[in-house]
Each structure stands twice: as structure tokens, then as C-alpha cells.
Structure 1
Amino acid sequence: MERLKALSLTVFLVFILHGCGYHFSGEGPGPKPGLKRIAIPVFENRTGEPELGSLFAAALRQQFFMRGNLQVVPEDQAEVIFRGRITDIYTSSVAHIDVQQTIQTRLYVTLDIRCQDAQTGKAIWQDPQFTYYKTYLMVPDPIASFDNRREAFEFLAKEMAIRIHDRFLSNF
């Protein structure tokens, strides 16, 4: 009877300590232990919005500079390479003053992001449809609205980079 209690307690503790099974989305085994050098080239931009490829790649580089033990290096020195493609941006009206005037717009960005082994080209982590959004203010002044939209892109680049960094390293 004593052995049965001990076995039951052991099995129970294994299940409890193993966790709830939650994991970040994204596919692939994640980084290998001992990984030290990564490259993050400018993302491919398939939208009509200029400079997004460099904005989003720079935000991801910044996350690895600030928050990790991984060194960001040129592609020819890297063990793995993050490749990003901005596949879509679109907007939707969120709030209106009247039928013809929008005062808030939601800006969506979709990335195809993957991390590949530099030698084999095999994807070790990927999310082909990573979408995030930010709502920004539309005002009568077109320059101010443009600035608000640009700030929304900067916010999205930073927030998406944080999530990519965390999701990639969740298996570390």
C-alpha cells in the first residue's frame, strides 16, 4: 500500500511539474542549445509601403541586441538566419464621426517570418502568417495622419519583434 501511494504521488508530481501544455505559436523545433550567432538581413517587402523591410528587421535586431545572449552578425558568420517577408498590410475603419469621416483606423501587418539553419537552409522555426495590428488616429491634417500611421508602423515593428524573439527562444 505504501508503494502504491509513493507511485501515485510520483506520477501526480510528474504531471503537475510538466506544465499545462501551453506553448507559443510558430512551427519548428526552435533553436539548438549552444546557438551563438544569428543574422537578420533586411526583410523582403511585398507591399507598396516604403522602408518597411528595414524597419522591421532593425526592430528584431534590436530585440536580440537588448535581450539575448545571441550575437547578431553578418550572414556569412551566422549559424542561423532570420528571413522575413512583409506579405500584407491593410487597414479597417474603427471609429467614425459621420458616414464619410473616419477618426480611427486599424492598421494590420502580416509577416512570413522564419529562422533557417545557415548551412542547410532548413527552417528551424517559422510563422508564415504572423499578423498584428495597431489602431491610430486619423485627423483632418494629412501630415499629422501620415505621422500617426508611421508611428503605428514603428509600434508594430517593435511589438512584433518582441513576440518573434520570445516565441523563438521559448524552446531554449
Structure 2
Amino acid sequence: MPAFLSLLLLVLLTTGCGYQPLGRGAGLPEGVETVYIPVFENRTLEPFLENQITRDVIEEFSRREGVRVLAAPQTADARLEGEITAFQAAPLSFGPEDRIGQYRVRVTIAVTLRRTDTGLVLWRGQLDWSEQYPTAADKSVQEDNEQAAIRVISRRLAENLYMRLHDNF
């Protein structure tokens, strides 16, 4: 019986649980080492949102290992195309006299990774993120609060996009 327990313990110690941290998956599909990321399409009425999100996605992919972001689409193995499909800012809480205390802003993006040479779709997905921010009596402070929430959302969307793409393959 002690030999059986020793063998069982050895098997359990060497096999592990299969857990791996996010972003440490198999990576992008075979043959995709470089990617071109054009400016995301903005299908919302929120101005300049496409610039913020595209910049954060490029920065996220550039600082990670396993893929290089190229400036020229012709030389990249794949093209990461995105569009901002929804932007919503809505009251979240109310204070005395029914005045809005906080807003929640939500952004949704749709992304497609396709081979540059064949146009074959390798991955397609949709992501969204929301953040809340406090109201302010001063209109410029209110706008600053909203822009700060948008910056957080943009960074989170970029991180989540990298993780989902990297872990799906």
C-alpha cells in the first residue's frame, strides 16, 4: 500500500492542475508574429474615441511579448481591425433633490483579426467595459471626470483584447 500512495503522490505532483495565468496561453495562430492595427472605426457620436482606443490597443500589443506591431499593413502577418459600436453615459445614482450623483459610461468594441495575405478571419469578438464617475457642479470638471473614465475603459479594453486573443489559441 505505501508504494501505491508514493506512486499516486508522484503522479499528482508531476501532472499539476492545468492552470495557467491569463495572457500565457498558446499565443496567436501559427505564423502570426506581426500585426498591423489601423485606427478603429467610430460608430458612435462620441468624438475622438477611436484615437484613444486605437492608441491604447497599439501600446498594449507593443509592450507584450509574442507579437510585433508594424506600421505598414503590407508586411504584417495579420490585421487587427476594430470598431467602436456603442458609447453610453447614463446616470447611476441620485442624491438629494433628485440630483445625479454618479454617471456610468460604457464602451463596446467589435474586433476582427484576419490574415493579411488571404483575408481569412482568425478571430472575431466583442468586448465592453464600464466605469463610473462622480458628477461635478463645474461643467469642465464634469467633462474631465468623464474623460478620465474613458481613459480607464480604453486601457481595460486593450488589456482584455490582448488576453482574449492570446488565450484563445
- Looking at structure 1, the residues matched to 122 and 31 of structure 2 have their Cα atoms a distance apart, in angstroms, of 14
Residues 134-149 of structure 1: matches in 2 within 5 Å? 134-149=131-146
1:166 and 2:163 aligned: yes
Deviation at 1:33, TM superposition (A): 3.0
Read off the aligned partner of 1:66 and give its amino acid letter.
R
Residues 1-172 of structure 1: matches in 2 within 5 Å? 17=16, 19=18, 31-73=28-70, 74-128=72-126, 130-171=127-168
- Looking at structure 1, the residues matched to 27 and 97 of structure 2 have their Cα atoms a distance apart, in angstroms, of 48
Deviation at 1:99, TM superposition (A): 4.9
Distance 1:32 1:76, change over 3 A: same
- Looking at structure 1, the residues matched to 168 and 104 of structure 2 have their Cα atoms a distance apart, in angstroms, of 32
TM-score by length of 2: 0.81
- Looking at structure 2, the residues matched to 30 and 114 of structure 1 have their Cα atoms a distance apart, in angstroms, of 16
Contact 2:41 2:82 in 1 (8 A): yes
Read off the aligned partner of 1:105 and give its amino acid letter.
Y
Moved over 6 A (4+): none
Contact 1:30 1:125 in 2 (8 A): no
TM-score by length of 1: 0.80
Gaps of 5+ in 1: none
Q: Secondary structure at the match of 1:82?
A: strand
Gaps of 5+ in 2: none
Tell me which moved more, 119-128 or 101-110.
Answer: 119-128
Over aligned residues, Cα RMSD in angstroms?
3.1
- Looking at structure 2, the residues matched to 30 and 167 of structure 1 have their Cα atoms a distance apart, in angstroms, of 10
